[in-house]
Structure 1
């Protein structure tokens, strides 16, 4: 992802529990949906490189 959200999640959530819902069987040529639930504290703010903070999305 261009803004690095995936990289951020990978390095900072490595020790968090993740709940993933997927199908047990996937056949060829079938489109399916995966739901990943990653719990996090909504009150935590991220520090930017200019020392300002913003609400994480």
Structure 2
């Protein structure tokens, strides 16, 4: 299992709050989990120093 971090980003693209960390079997499972965290703010999913995906909020 790999460790992942999800960061919520403010309107200017800056980190809004401390990351949520979790472990997943792989990128697909981590992306699915990160998609559930998109709630009015964009989020970035990281695995170590690798940006996996940036998910945009549909509320913008």
Common fold, TM-score beyond 0.5?
no
Between Structure 1 and Structure 2, the one with more strand by share is 2
Structure of higher CA gyration radius: 1
State TM-score, norm by structure 1.
Answer: 0.24
Flag the structure with more relative contact order, 1 or 2, with Cα contacts below 8 A and sequence separation at least 6: 2
TM-score, scaled to structure 2: 0.23
